[in-house]
Amino acid sequence: MQAGNSVLRISIVTPAYNESKNLPIFFDRLDAVFARLSADWEWLVIDDHSSDDSLRVLSALAEQHSNIRALRFSRNCGSHLAVTCGLREARGECAVVMAADLQDPPETIPNLIDKWRAGAQVVWAVRAAREGENAVTLAFSSFYYWIMRRFVGFEEMPPKGADFFLLDRRVLSAFGEFNETNASITNLILWMGFPQDSITYEKQARVHGQSKWNAEKKLKLVVDSVTAFSYKPIRYMSYAGFVIAILGFLYAIDVVANAFRGHPIEGWTSLMVVVLVLGGFQMLMMGILGEYLWRTLDEARRRPRYLIEARFGKGLHSHWTKDVFMNEPRPI
């Protein structure tokens, strides 16, 4: 829903976990960018239960600036759920999702808006370069995007990924229909369709603090991303089971025939090879089934995905009245 020549209303959605030093700098840079745009904006910060003094910093900022709204989760739920919450709460005609660590420069926002005004309803900021990342992080990232493009089948996914994007109000409304707990947001949005476009930007080094992605979280993201969009692991498991069953059957014929001919196959080595190979395969297959089963159970429980401990901010701009929005954010 573009607003022609009238003033645009833009929401900036930021998940934040222990980013108290970055938040004030982020606000100042956003403020400088919007001072040059004819747009009205709100900054929606989702504090993912930070343990530093983010709460105090945010409430002080929200006290000073009426266009800041902040919500605090009751427990740490991860950045994808923080962004989910922010997108459901956003009231703008479009929303831009940006991390709080200034790796995604606010100065890129006008380029995203230009593409949106040209008709795109999803605009990705695609990384042209990444500063300040080590070789292991870059290798994992290439592996992840390769899996998503080649194995899961998201051909349109940028090879170096994109975690900074703009969504039109229509996409925000559609996104509100989703209730998945474990899916990665970028993958969901790629999957949703709508007219999508991209710009490139240089991912910057973090200003303060460290990345919160450890090896365990990264592994969970890979398994979540594959299980949420692909049944291929189960399909390949069936193929492997079929091939192993045929081979086992042929081997069994050979063993029995040899026994009848009076030359039983000797011993320990062949037995151990069969037991270990089959045992290993079975455990792997049960593990894959378990990953799908656990996620089915997780979704079936229908627990709230996040709980809000506190909300602060002076509320919406007075002229951001309810009737201009196609869809009100629903209760969680």
Our finding on whether 143 is near ligand UDP (CB under 6 A) is no
Candidate ranges 13-21, 37-45, 85-93, 297-305; the one touching ligand UDP (CB under 6 A): 13-21
Residue in 101, 106, 124, 74 with CA at minimum distance from that of residue 16: 101
Give exposure, 84-120, as e/b (b: 16+ Cβ within 10 Å): bbbbbbbbbbbbbbbbbbbbbbbebbeebbebbeeeb
Our finding on whether 15 is near ligand UDP (CB under 6 A) is yes
Tokens of 79: 């950045």
- Cα 53 to the chain's mean position, in Å? 25
Candidate ranges 72-80, 151-159, 186-194, 310-318; the one touching ligand UDP (CB under 6 A): 72-80
Minimum CB separation of residue 51 from ligand UDP in Å reads 11
Neighbours of 30 (CB within 10 A): 21
Our finding on whether 141 is near Mg ion (CB under 5 A) is no
Minimum CB separation of residue 313 from ligand UDP in Å reads 18
What does the alpha-carbon distance between residue 237 and residue 7 come to, in Å, rounded to a whole number? 55
Our finding on whether 103 is near Mg ion (CB under 5 A) is yes
Largest Cα span, the chain: 93
Our finding on whether 89 is near ligand UDP (CB under 6 A) is no
β-pair type (68-73, 308-312): antiparallel
Please pick, from the candidates 103, 121, 182, 186, the single residue that binds ligand UDP as defined by CB under 6 A: 103
Minimum CB separation of residue 167 from ligand UDP in Å reads 17
Chosen from Mg ion, ligand UDP, none, partner binding at 224 (C-beta under 5 to 8 Å by type): none
Residue in 133, 180, 119, 181 with CA at minimum distance from that of residue 161: 133
The site string for Mg ion over 50-89 (x = CB under 5 A, - otherwise) reads ----------------------------------------
Residue in 18, 35, 25, 9 with CA at minimum distance from that of residue 90: 9
Please pick, from the candidates 149, 160, 170, 212, the single residue that binds ligand UDP as defined by CB under 6 A: 212
58's enclosing H/E stretch is helix 54-64
Candidate ranges 15-23, 235-243, 245-253, 283-291; the one touching ligand UDP (CB under 6 A): 15-23
Residue ranges that bind ligand UDP, judged by CB under 6 A: 15-17, 19, 48, 76, 78-79, 82, 99-101, 103, 211-213
